Structure 1
Amino acid sequence: MTGSGRRSARSRIKSSTDDDDDGGDDSIRRTRQPNLKSLRDRSKRRHSSIGIFNIDLKIMLGVSVFALLIIFFLIQHLVKPAKELQRPRVVTPFPGPKLMDLPQFQGEHKESLYWGTYRPHVYLGIRARTPRSLVSGLMWIGVKDGRYHMRHVCQDSDELSTYGWTQHNGRDFGHQVLVDQDLKLGTSFLKSKSEDSGYGGDWAVRIDVQSENSEQNEEIQRNGHLFFYLANEDGGTLSLGGSTLDISENSLLASGTLADVGGWQLHLVSKDSLEVHYSGFRTPHIHNLSELVQQNLAAQIRKFGQLQLSDSTEDFPNILVFQISARIPFKTDIVFVSGTRGDKARVEERVSSLTGTALTHQLQDRQMKFDAKFEQCFKVADKLEPESTIVGKAVIANMLGGIGYFYGQSKISYPRDFSNKDRDNFIAYWPAELYTAVPSRPFFPRGFLWDEGFHQLLIWRWDIHICLDILGHWLDLMNIDGWIPREQILGSEALSKVPEEFVLQHPTNGNPPTLFLVVHDLLHGIEKNKFAPAERNEITSFFEHAFVRLEAWFQWFNTTQSGIQSFVFCGCSTPLMGGGGRE
């Protein structure tokens, strides 16, 4: 094998010189010279190939890095969205424009509803229609069987003989009466808008404290203790008006800044002799505020034997509580002014316009307008006795005064085919807001889908704009399948009022679609010319945009809740329609 290989090589050399003469040194030299040249050429070609290879290697490295970048980009922008698409349909929003983005719900309409008594679960609570709001509220110390009890959250165990709105227009005015044993409280709420006001305007609260039994002589009955508070849900620090609060010298209680309204101030004005104390807290939650206040009072009683707040604050407080104490009877006005820009004289004028005699006249004016609108809407003066008319006014007032604003995420039970990697028993709905009436302030101070249909049969007759706003909020909660969670438990305050076993919402459960009763009512009203032209146009525009959601909702009912016969649905007592509802 080796020998033949060598012979073959020689044969190749020889064949390359077939044109030369046989033998001779010249022939050999002529043969060798070209071979040396060929070797030099080959060497050059080898060096040239190595250079080209080096250049190719740089290009290849560059291309490889570029390819890796492209792969990384694809992973981030294609693979990640693909994973997101794997989330259950139940928490996927309906693929359509939100109704609350319609022009009719923007501008003046939206601003006019910015502040309100939108915390129906407390006896008196004010907030804005925004996810992170400045909220305020009232507590007081009630006395039962010779013992002190803190009142704040509406609950039957407080055994108030009376509480509720006697007048409320749903927008800028309300009056409420609360009777707690021998203590009678009257609370009035009023909104005002001046050219200097920030977004949403200013508001005032009047608290009138009276005794139901003037013959009581005990000290425990002769002094009243109110607690009015401000809390910033966004966590921003609230500034105290001063280390000592003497409202006879300075009415300023607190101040701060909000993104929506700009600078703001809270003032306390009264002609009675008041004693004011305070305490500041730093906490991310306000649903346990009652406990914080009671703990502060208990510590003061143990140390000093006095029922008063500590006149101290934690660092950077986002909650300020003001204790207002006086001999009963007494009256006090609390004013929130927005858009303050350092013009002290102008701020004082605005505070003066919302306190004292000026506030009294405005409240009387709103009361007369409420009575006139009640008659205009329901025309019952010739049909009902005066006592029945008072009841009717209380009904509409409590319906409107029970409207609340909520923000948060519903907890939805996991679909059977969904992998639960987080080991929770729920998946969160998307963050959402809800503006709605509530069925019951002490028991159900949150949104219930089928109750809302009945609520709106009354509310649209009072204020069609509020009605459409509420309908829009509910329909915007619809998911891609046309399902709307039947009970809305949004935010920590709402969650604190619900037993854990009733928190989860089940995608298989529905409530009777009572909102269609409102749809029918409004369309019938248009046919009968019950609305002014501008109102008719707004209703028509709303339903043109809402139709796709209403149709999806109908289809969801017709496919998931259908009975044996066409257009016959499962009864409310079955698991499909009941699902742990209110009994």
Structure 2
Amino acid sequence: MDIGSWQLHLKSLDDVEVHYAGFKTPHIHNLSDLVQENLGLQVRKFGRLQLPDTSDDSPNILVFQISARTPFRTDVAFISGTGLESPRLEERVGSHTGTSLTSQLKEKQREFDTKFEKSFNLVHKLDSESIVAGKAAIGNLLGGIGYFFGQSKIAISGNMNQGNHDDSILYWPAELYTAVPSRPFFPRGFLWDEGFHQLLVWRWDIHISLDIIGHWLDLMNIDGWIPREQILGAEALSKVPSDYVVQIPTNGNPPALLLALNDLVHGLKINKFTAAETDVISSFLERAFVRLEAWFQWFNTTQSGKEVGSYYWHGRDHTTTRELNPKTLTSGLDDYPRASHPSEDERHVDLRCWMLLAADCMHSIAELFEKENKSGKEYGNTVKLLSDFKILNQMHYDDAYGTYLDFGNHTEKVRLVWKETMVGHNYATRELVREVLEVPKLGLVPHIGPVSLFPFIARIIPADSRILERQLDLISNRSILWTKFGLRSLAKTSSLYMKYNTEHDAPYWRGPIWMNMNYMILSSLHHYSGVDGPYREKARTIYEDLRGNLIRNVVQNYHKNGFFREQYDQRNGKGKGARVFNGWTSLVLLIMAEAYPS
């Protein structure tokens, strides 16, 4: 009754056979299992691989099986609404099938192709195989946009370590309109992923993009905190391990939504948009400003370090006895190695650069709307502090490695060893536990990867600085980050390169190639290749080589397997992790279009 009257029509001029089954299930993600079990039962009973033409009581899913000899063509038309018994029913069905449907699909295809070329301008830049993959990237990302409703679980216990979910409360009932990284594997909103998604979506439809960003800002609490993972509703909850359900209000996630907002602000300044678009964007930014301010202040107060201008990701577990290196889920880079012993003395170079982006974006919005009050001036002062090259180098630069590093309480002499624990008199459990062989010391943490390149990504390094050349050398060094498929997520020389973090916790951000970080690094290579300086040509050469490698590998994988993947193997380029990953891997389209954040 909830969905009203509807009919499903199947029309075909070929010889087809149709069978069905009806299921009553609380979750859609287990549909394949239900169908396979049903088919298996039929095979055992009757020797036929077909659905049984029966249904559970009050089903909420109907599955139809169409069998025919190939090649064949069939149309399925879903007709809903009033007047289903009217004389015009056959006309309505006809408009959704046969030649009429073919004509409509061709027209929609032409509209899509026209808009795609207008938005990304690829015709004269790339071959047809790359363009086909680019169209799939934006099409699948848009197809993953959905509406969710439910309540997050929020920790209220004094013990805020991830996994402590005994003491929690429900957030208010909330709705979220958002893209998702992967419909089958991650069908929910992720705060920092969404910032990268919107770099694509705003170029396709500004209205959709602003609607999504607005929904995310509506999830902010009174303190200015936004839960980083949105597990709204039973369907989303069914896909998440219990240890990761509860959100912790002291823990953040990169404010990547500001990447898209910064683009829009820059576009307003250079009159990039139509008058109608300008009005919509300006109105949104004015209304959103108070929430953006609250978000910035939450980061600036809760994630600040001991020294002025320093920041660190809260939420690392300093009590763990099982992790080789305590994870930093809040940074988005999960198991990327930080200081071996989490403490309040830490300084994380990536968060410092995210805060520079946030301050710069807020300062630009304040200028745009003449909000140069006390807070506006404070944003300008923060930009000045965090972009100070000398202070940055004092806090994070290591001359021996020639790059920027985290700071913290660290030792390299940590390992996982097997330990047996007696249970009773006759039974022993065996598990991998962390063993520290040296007292940690405060200092720079000697692990190189995308985190080391955040000052390069943030374009803080002067174009004539020798340090810039050292970053370029680091990026292009085959023994450190460079592969012919893209840049590694951790240097090959790191002691934790491709190391398991626990017995079952495989390396994630410890070597494989991730598109979002490659995109950001590529963006700055493009920037420095267009700025006067002694390393301009070197940046251009590395840029062109890296861009070619990334496009070629993703396109080849797509045409071979039909999917975009979560990450790519640094040794052979093969897709890894979740498949049908149409989140930030779709950034390959912006790489094709050479469209980068302002």
TM score, norm. by length of structure 1: 0.51
The equivalent of 2:458 in structure 1 is none
| Amino acid of the structure 2 residue aligned with 1:578 | L
Deviation string for 1:89-132 (max 9, x for gaps)? xxxxxxxxxxxxxxxxxxxxxxxxxxxxxxxxxxxxxxxxxxxx
More deviation in 504-513 or 286-295?
286-295
Which of 174, 190, 204 is matched with 1:448 structurally?
A: 190
* Aligned partner letter, 1:519: L
Q: 1-side partners of 2:240 and 2:70: how far apart?
A: 36
Higher relative contact order (CA 8 A, sep 6+): 1
**Are residue 288 (structure 1) and residue 30 (structure 2) matched?**
yes
1:546 has 2:288 as partner: yes
Distance 1:289 1:441 in 2: 14
1:327 Cα deviation (Å)? 2.1
Give the aligned residue type for 1:521: D
Whether 1:321 aligns to 2:63 is yes
The whole-number CA distance in structure 2 between the counterparts of 1:381 and 1:364 is 20
Q: Which amino acid aligns with 1:402?
A: G
3-state SS of the aligned residue for 1:297?
A: helix
Q: What residue in structure 1 maps to residue 140 of structure 2?
A: 398
2:149 to 391, 407, 414: 407
Is the counterpart of residue 524 in structure 1 residue 266 in structure 2? yes
Q: Deviations over 1:286-336 (max 9, x none)?
A: 343333323322322222222222222233333322222222333322222
* TM-aligned CA distance change 1:580 to 1:413, over 3 Å: farther
How has the CA–CA distance of structure 1 residues 518 and 580 changed in structure 2, closer, same or farther, with 3 Å as cutoff? closer
Task: Verify: 1:474 aligned to 2:216, yes or no.
Answer: yes
| Pair 1:314–1:273, CA change in 2 (3 A) | same
* In 1: Cα distance, 2:105 partner to 2:298 partner: 47
What is the alpha-carbon distance in structure 2 between the residues aligned to residue 574 and residue 492 of structure 1? 28
Corresponding position: 1:485 with 2:227:
yes
Identity of aligned residues (%): 65
Q: Are the structure 2 counterparts of residues 579 and 511 from structure 1 closer, same or farther at C-alpha, using a change threshold of 3 Å?
A: closer
**Which residue identity lines up with residue 388 of structure 1 in the other structure?**
S
Q: How far off its partner does 1:567 sit?
A: 4.8
Q: Which has the higher strand share?
A: 1
The 1-side partners of 2:104 and 2:84 are apart by 26
| C-alpha contact (below 8 Å) 1:268/1:332 kept by paired residues | yes
Amino acid paired to 1:351:
V
Q: Quote the offset at 1:566 in angstroms.
A: 4.1
CA distance in 2, matches of 1:322, 1:391: 30
Partner of 2:5, secondary structure, is strand
CA distance in 1, matches of 2:54, 2:43: 15
Match of 1:514 among 246, 256, 264: 256
1:437 alignment partner in structure 2: 179
Aligned twin of 1:578: 329
Unaligned runs of 5+ in 1: 1-235, 237-256
Partner of 1:494: 236
| Structural mapping, 1:223-238, within 5 Å | 236=1
Structure-2 residue corresponding to 1:464:
206
CA pair 428-571 structure 1, distance change in 2 beyond 3 A: closer
Q: By how many angstroms is 1:519 displaced?
A: 1.6
Aligned to 2:116: 374
CA contact (8 A) 1:510 1:578 kept: no
The CA deviation string for residues 223-271 of structure 1, in whole angstroms up to 9 with x for no partner, is: xxxxxxxxxxxxx5xxxxxxxxxxxxxxxxxxxx62xxx5322222222
1:347 equivalent to 2:105? Answer no
Tell me whether 1:557 sits opposite 2:299 in the alignment. yes
Name the structure 2 match of 1:128.
none
2:10 to 268, 283, 288: 268
Question: Which amino acid counterpart does residue 390 of structure 1 have in structure 2?
Answer: V
Runs of 4+ residues deviating >6 angstroms? none
Which residue of 2 is the match for residue 242 of structure 1?
none
**Offset at residue 571 of structure 1 (A):** 4.9
For residues 313 and 337 of structure 1, what CA distance do their matches in structure 2 show? 21
Relative to structure 1, the CA distance from residue 442 to residue 264 in structure 2 (aligned partners, 3 Å threshold; closer, same or farther) is closer
Larger Rg: 1
CA positional deviation for 1:503: 2.2
- Whole-Å Cα distance in 2 between the matches of residues 316 and 380 of structure 1? 50
- SS of 2:87's partner is helix
**How far off is 1:442 after superposition?**
4.7
The structure-2 alpha-carbon separation of the partners of 1:425 and 1:347, relative to structure 1 and needing over 3 Å to count, comes to: farther
What residue in structure 2 maps to residue 44 of structure 1?
Answer: none
Question: Normalized against structure 2, the TM-score is what?
Answer: 0.50
Mapped contact 1:510–1:577 kept (Cα < 8 A): no
SS at match of 1:345: coil
Q: Is 2:83 the counterpart of 1:332?
A: no
1:502 CA drift (Å): 2.2
Q: Is the 8 A contact 1:570 1:577 kept in 2?
A: no
Q: Deviations over 1:343-365 (max 9, x none)?
A: 43312211111111111111111
